[in-house]
Amino acid sequence: MKKRTNKIISFAALLFLVSACDEFLNVNVNPNSTTGPPAKTILAGATTEIAFHMGSDIHRFSSEWVQQFTGGGNAGTQTVEYGRYNVTATDLNNCWRGGVWGDVLSDLQKLRELTQDKSPRYAGIAKICQAFMFSIAVDAWGDIPFT
């Protein structure tokens, strides 16, 4: 009888310990870390990307096509081909996918969603930057998807 009582008490203690392990094993969650980026960080990244693309790929292609400057370099280099108006669709893929659409516009949309109710100033800045980037993208590629 005593063995049976010991087994029941041991089983009850085991159940108690197993149910209490939820909080004990939750050691991989840092209570001091943020759950998402702050609005000022998203805005800084987006404006930096805008500045980069306005001064690099989009600027280079459009300036060469209107003969503001020409691509310098030896024969066979990429910039010489741009000066000859030999721009292929893949030359602008990085600028579109990884830059304007993939980085800037998606970051600005995320900023608008995060700050619409909390900080309308950040949401307003994001709307203005989005409008600017949409106008640049339409000038560069023609009709583009809005969503």
Q: Where are the domains of the chain?
A: 37-141
Tally Cβ neighbours within 10 Å of residue 132: 14
Tokens representing 81 are 């081909």
pLDDT at position 37 over 90: no
pLDDT value at position 76?
Answer: 54
pLDDT value at position 73?
Answer: 58
The pLDDT > 90 percentage for the chain reads 21
Q: Report whether 110 contacts 61 (CB < 8 A).
A: no
Given pLDDT bands bounded at 50, 70 and 90, which one contains residue 77?
A: low
Given pLDDT bands bounded at 50, 70 and 90, which one contains residue 88?
A: confident
Q: What is the DSSP string of 90-115?
A: GGGHHHIIIIIIIIIIHHHHHHHHHH
Given pLDDT bands bounded at 50, 70 and 90, which one contains residue 10?
A: confident
Comparing 84 with 50, the larger pLDDT belongs to 50
CA atoms within 13 A on the CB side of 92: 16
- Whole-model pTM: value is 0.65
pLDDT at position 145 over 90: no
